[in-house]
Structure 1
Amino acid sequence: MDDVTELESLPVEQLIEMIRERTGAGVNLSFPGKVLARQLGRRVRPRNQRTVKTHSAGDEHGRSRNLVIEGDNLQALASLYRERGQIDMILTDPPYNTGGDFRYNDKWDKDPNDPDMGEFVGSDDPAKHTKWMKFMYPRLQMMRAMLKPSGVLAICIDSRELFHLGQMLDELFGEENRLAIINWQKSYSPRSDNRHVSTATEYVLVYAKNEKVGKTGLEPRTASMDARYQNRDGDLRLWKPGDFSGPKASTHQGMVYGVQSPFTGEVHYPPAGKCWRSPQREAERWLEEWGVSYVLKAIDDASVRARIIGVDASDVRPVKALMLATPLAEAKEKATKRWKDGPWPKIFFGVKGTGRPQQKNYLEDVKQGRVPMTYWADEDLNDPEILGDVSWDHEESGHSQTGVDELTAVVGEGHGFETVKPMKLMTKLIQIWCPPSGTVLDPFAGSGSTGHAVLKLNRDQGADRRFILIEQGRPDNGDSYAKTLTVDRLRRVIDGSWSKKKHAPLGGGFTFKRLEKKVDAKTLLLMERDEMIDTVIASHSSTGSRRNAVLIPLGDDDEPYTYLVAKNASNEGIYLVWSGAGSNTDLTEEAYEEITEEAEAAGLADVYHVYSRRNLIVTDDVIWYQIPDRILSDFGLDIRTESFTEEG
């Protein structure tokens, strides 16, 4: 058991989980340091996000929606409180614990805000799995908190930590919310990387926050799928043969009945355990389109129907059969003429007229898409509730070398990335699990494949998805992927200036932000004005009716305002009375008068959202926000303890 006595600091759900572990109720994952790992997400401090215009790119719409954040992803997730519960999809590719691909600082066990990154965890470290799980667990907690109730997490992994990751996700999300274990082919030639079996595949674990409200989209239908639909009988609509029988004979006894063929006179029944798809009156109407008449007639078929339903003959409900009223010879002549002349009725008896009842399935009635399955079938498919295990070969998902080649084509040689997820895999996942106007978050952004995929889908589909990418890179080597490789890739695909030749611009844009000072009361009260402006803008859009409201920053070095910092979608100004800790930080009568003048000059409404240390006036047109309390609250922090509130 972990050496922790501060149980009162744990939220209720974690205390309940600990009781279950101790009493043996349910299956739980256990590893050294787990209790501490569960607390880290609540103890990490949000950070001020400083906008860096020189690293931002693209059009105004894209800049207002998309973010690239440089910094530690746990701190960044804590800083994105305004997005908590608002993310449609998290798509990410964390370190795989291959040795030298992630760091762990033992001081994080006590203080997740310790600035030291720690040492790289080597492949020969006996505690490497424990350290990886302690590293990932609080991040997975935060990821789950970021998702909408209908949101989905898709996380890439290889065999080294597949089982540990799956156990953590089963515990955090619930096994019932596991939608898929996708197996994708990263290479299609044998590799000598294993003494026993070549590793040609990797995995994507897909979990819904709530499987009952999560949605899985259809993939586009292919030409080969549609080619199965024809009009061989002269029908004006394309169709293909379908089964006229369906499941659940035991609960649909009334749809287990005999159907006499007008071609052969044979009486057909559904296969064992199945029933016909249509009730008798509807089926009778379609059958009579062969130019013959039918009648409902009781025949001695209780034993036949009992075997199909799976009950004793004494338990079978009496149901009449659809029998020919037209003499068989005449029925055969009329039906054969209709078979030759066409088009055939919806119910037909095989393409030669001598088979079992089948039905026409029309292309125009089929969902214009296909559901991801264990194989890529070309049948008419319905949405599944849960996908189960899914295998994608390289033609469906691309392979790892493709991802590296794609990155090289955009930014040129020398980028240093040896493994990059292919665009086909990323766009496929986003298309399935993020709606066209949804938000995709990637806490391990790397080279920016997720952002590139969102921009490409937006251009190709006319969609308006947005992305939030978080990347720290290797600051110890003076190399932050975020402001070098990630930004370079996104900027190049936005304007089409690829490494060796121009490509069609994808358009869009993003704002680059850098994590800086901690958001706590002491730090807030020591901030300079420019730091406080960024913090206020991040804070103001964080909760309640203001959540996800787009704020437009106002004022710059050429045209500065004394108080006005931004405006909202209702054309109301956001004002900050703050020029640093040693200046006036109170809303006074003089400050109020200048605020109204700035609002009038900027053409803003006469409703004033004002941030200050104290409010020394009384007026109905001011909505006041106290520094630091309101900012702490809007970042989800308890004002007294400055830890995350249980709701957060």
Structure 2
Amino acid sequence: MILTDPPYNTGGDFRYNDKWDTDPNDPDMGEFVGSDDPAKHTKWMRFMYPRLQMMRAMLKPSGVLAICIDSRELFHLGQMLDELFGEENRLAIINWQKSYSPRSDNRHVSTATEYVLVYAKDERTAKTGLQPRTASMDARYRNPDGDSRVWKGENFSGPKARTHQGMVYGIQSPFTGEVHYPPAGKCWRAPQSDALRWLSEWGVDYELREMDDAQTRAAIIGVAPGDVRKVRAVMVKFDLPMAREAAAERRAAGNWPRLVFGLDGQGRPQQKKYLEDVKQGRVPMTYWADEDLEPDALGDVSWDHEESGHSQAGVNELTAIVGPGHGFETVKPLKLMTKLIQIWCPPSGTVLDPFAGSGTTGHAVLELNHDQGTDRRFILIEQGRPDDGDSYAKTLTADRLHRIINGEWAGKKKHARLEGGFTFKTLEKKVDAQTLLLMERDEMVDTVVASHSSTGNRRMAVLIPVDNDAELYTYLVAKNAANEGIFLVWTGAKENTDLTEEVYEKITEEADTAGLAGIYHVYSRRNLLVTDDVVWYQIPDRILSDFGLDVRTESFTEEN
């Protein structure tokens, strides 16, 4: 999970490294963006966009990004995230109550909320966790009929009547004789065969009977009467007074069947839902959710300050830990960050915060691990304010974590140790070239393997990676089912990328060392050698350019 609270465009002056997208090592800061700059929103987006690209690239396929924002840039940030992640991967727009009393920060409406935009890299593989159930939620489940398990009556109707016409049918109550249908647009949750069986448990004989109800069913489904399928109703088989008497006796006996008609027998069909069958948690929605359902996406979600904390609480928490004078006027509350991590980071997952600030994200991970016995880890990145000579990563962020781990808060009150730990590292001014080259080669190998696996016959396309921990091989990366080697001519953008005679000799030596057959599958930019034992594949220029090779300066390009 990536959870972060980036710098907001609050309407005042701001300044940032505007060359970061082309040169992350550039030490200079850009020009000041004044509060009266008509392009200040565009410039803020330019600051954010390459960093959002990097965040998305760093997520696992099942990863989730949760990013805090206020109303000034909510729409702009949402547009960028929709473009990068796709609208279908937007899981939630959470609005949380940052203050609970009116503020004079606006001429017209007091600002009481801020937002968290939540996006999955792929919503099909992302998981949304449940929050712990509350005592009041469990109190809804009872056993008024003497059932051995506690239950509550659940609505027996569900959505999608148009696509489930066979589940739109009449059900006759054995108590009142009324024939019940689902509400408009709804269908029953179970087919007639199940309903017939459950209703018969009331000691009443039921049957499937054709009814003149096409118009009623068509109105529920939303089609013309001529377009509705013929479906029989579930009706009492013999005379109703006998059915009513039998159902009343069965109701008095207790431990009622699964399909009930309210606690008094006079209501609509309901289904018993047992507490032990309910997910042992609740969906992270507070205002209009069915707490027993786990949705694919949460939509718009509101959290009041009791659920999420508020801004002043965040400031007070920081002051209590490190003491006054820290200079932070706005701090996200610990409760908000804890809740987000609990919902979208698995118990053994890793949380990255690339705008760590005062370290609330790390604090939240440590506290969750302490309270719940989980094993989450965190990576915090903080630049501080180098233009002000204020690099507070060590003096504030790390200091906060150190204090909460050891229970050494600034005040006199003693606090429990949270255990855990962290290491502190300072980034050098330049990226290590050798490390970057190894990363590039690994990515290039992945590209080649994916390309090879999509070509040729299925048996030969399955590749087995070659163990190169001892760095025996310069070009060998894998082998196929016929024990033939797969070779990649790539040691960096400024090195040779062509199959030459010298490279060929090295490839044959590596094949012998690995005990491979005498057929060589070689990926390179160009083939400058003709030999029958080489099966050659060209690396497309567009891939090479992604890895830093400027193909425009070459005499040959893929397009030509």
1:453 maps to 2:374: no
5 Å-filtered alignment, 1:594-605, equals none
In the other structure, the counterpart of 1:339 is 251
Distance between the aligned counterparts of 1:123 and 1:396, measured in 2? 34
Q: Is the 8 A contact 2:205 2:238 kept in 1?
A: yes
Q: 1:186 aligns with which of 90, 98, 103?
A: 98
Alignment pair present for 1:202 and 2:114: yes
Distance 1:261 1:505, change over 3 A: same
Alignment correspondent of 2:305: 394
Q: 2:269 maps to which residue? A: 357
Residue in 2 aligned with 1:257? 169
Alpha-carbon deviations, 1:585-623, whole Å to 9, x = none?
Answer: xxxxxxxxxxxxxxxxxxxxxxxxxxxxxxxxx9989xx
Q: CA deviation at 1:369?
A: 2.0
Specify whether residues 106 and 150 from structure 1 end up closer, same or farther in structure 2 by C-alpha distance, changes over 3 A only: closer
1:357 offset after TM fit, Å?
1.5
* Secondary structure in structure 2 of the residue aligned to 1:184: strand
Q: Report Cα offsets for 1:499-548 as digits up to 9, x if no partner.
A: 22322222211111101141355xx7xxxxxxxxxx79x9799958x99x
Q: 1:475 to 1:274 in 2, by over 3 A?
A: closer
1:166 corresponds in structure 2 to: 78
Aligned mate of 1:135, from 36, 47, 72: 47
For 1:479 and 1:352, locate their aligned partners in 2 and report how far apart those are by CA, in whole Å: 70
Helix, strand or coil at the partner of 1:249:
coil
- With over 3 angstroms needed to count, the CA separation of the structure-2 counterparts of 1:148 and 1:351, relative to structure 1, is same
Deviation, structure 1 residue 230: 1.1
Measured after TM superposition, the shift of residue 386 of structure 1 is 2.6
Match of 1:434 among 300, 322, 345: 345
- 1:423 to partner: Cα distance: 0.8
Percent identity over the alignment?
76
Instruction: Give the distance between the partners of 1:143 and 1:106, measured in 2 at CA.
Output: 17
| SS of corresponding position for 1:420 | coil
Change (3 A) 1:304 1:173: closer
Residue in 2 aligned with 1:288?
200
Question: Given the alignment of the two structures, is residue 307 of structure 1 paired with residue 219 of structure 2, yes or no?
Answer: yes
* 2:410 alignment counterpart: 499
1:117 aligns to 2:117 (yes or no): no
User: How far apart in 1 are the matches of 2:194 and 2:429?
Assistant: 71
Please give the per-residue CA displacement for 1:471-502, whole angstroms capped at 9, x wherever unaligned: 01134544322111111111111122222232
Does structure 1 retain, via aligned residues, the 8 Å contact 2:198–2:258? Answer: yes
Partner secondary structure for residue 342 of structure 2: helix
| 8 Å Cα contact 2:440/2:547 also seen in 1 | no
3-state DSSP of counterpart to 2:117: strand
CA contact (8 A) 2:17 2:47 kept: no
Q: Which residue of 1 aligns with 2:10?
A: 98
C-alpha deviation, 1:133, in angstroms: 2.0
Distance 1:186 1:101 in 2: 23
Aligned equivalents of 2:206, 2:362: Cα separation in 1: 62
Residues 472, 99 of structure 1: CA spacing in aligned structure 2 closer, same or farther, 3 A cutoff?
Answer: farther
Equivalence for 1:488: 399
Give secondary structure in 2 for the equivalent of 1:512.
coil
Does residue 417 (structure 1) correspond to residue 328 (structure 2)? The answer is yes
Q: Return the letter of the residue paired with 2:256.
A: W
Does structure 2 conserve the Cα–Cα contact (< 8 Å) formed by 1:97 and 1:123? no
Q: Which deviates the most, 266-275 or 224-233?
A: 266-275
Q: CA deviation at 1:424?
A: 0.9
| Structure 1 Cα separation of the partners of residues 22 and 331 of structure 2 | 34
Whether the 8 Å CA contact 1:95–1:101 is kept in 2: the answer is no
The answer to whether 1:404 aligns with 2:296 is no
Superposed CA RMSD in Å reads: 3.3
1:298 aligns with 2:210: yes
Matched AA of 1:364 = E
Contact preservation (8 Å) 1:95, 1:102: no
Counterpart of 2:5, as a letter, is: D
**Alignment partners' CA distance in 2, 1:194 and 1:300:** 62
What is the aligned length? 463
Distance 1:123 1:270, change over 3 A: same
Give the distance between the partners of 1:204 and 1:353, measured in 2 at CA.
Answer: 46
Alignment match, 1:271? 183
Alpha-carbon distance in structure 2 between the residues aligned to 1:477 and 1:306: 70
1:440, distance to aligned residue in structure 2 (A)? 1.0
**2:291 corresponds to 1:383:** no
Task: State the partner residue of 1:153.
Answer: 65
CA contact (8 A) 1:374 1:389 kept: no
1:477-626 correspondence to structure 2 within 5 Å: 477-500=388-411, 501-519=413-431, 521=433
**Ranges in structure 2 where 5+ consecutive residues have no aligned partner:** 447-466, 472-509, 515-544, 551-560
* Equivalent residues of 1:91, 1:440 under 8 A apart: yes
Which one has more relative contact order, counting CA pairs under 8 Å at least 6 apart?
Answer: 1
| Larger mean Cα displacement after TM superposition, 414-423 or 194-203 | 194-203
In the other structure, the counterpart of 2:462 is none
Specify the alignment match of 2:375 in structure 1. Answer: 464
Please list every run of at least 4 consecutive aligned residues from structure 1 whose deviation after the TM superposition is greater than 4 angstroms: 99-102, 105-112, 538-544, 618-621, 636-641
Where 1:418 maps in the other structure, the secondary structure is: coil
Q: Secondary structure at the match of 2:273?
A: strand
- In the TM superposition, what whole-angstrom CA distance separates every residue of 1:546-574 from its partner, at most 9, and x where no partner exists? 99xxxxxxxxxxxxxxxxxxxxxxxx9x9
Structure 1 residue 443, shift from structure 2 partner: 0.6
Give 1:323's aligned residue.
235
Instruction: Tell me, yes or no, if the aligned pair for 2:13 and 2:35 is still in contact at 8 Å.
Output: no
Measured in 2, the distance between the counterparts of 1:463 and 1:174 equals 32
C-alpha contact 1:254 1:317 (8 A) present in aligned 2: yes
Query: CA separation in 1, counterparts of 2:214 and 2:548?
Result: 75
Worse-matched range after superposition: 173-182 or 103-112 = 103-112
CA contact (8 A) 2:322 2:409 kept: yes
**1:3 — aligned with what?**
none
Residues 386, 346 of structure 1: alpha-carbon distance in 2 compared, 3 angstrom cutoff: same
**C-alpha deviation, 1:449, in angstroms:** 0.4
> Structure 1's 206 and 119: CA in aligned 2 closer, same or farther, altered over 3 A?
same
Deviation of 1:352 (Å): 1.1
Q: Which moved more, 1:244-253 or 1:192-201?
A: 244-253
Instruction: Say if 1:177 and 1:254 are closer, same or farther in 2 by CA, change over 3 A.
Output: closer
The amino acid across from 1:402 in the alignment is A
Give, in whole Å, the separation in 2 of the partners of 1:228 and 1:162: 38
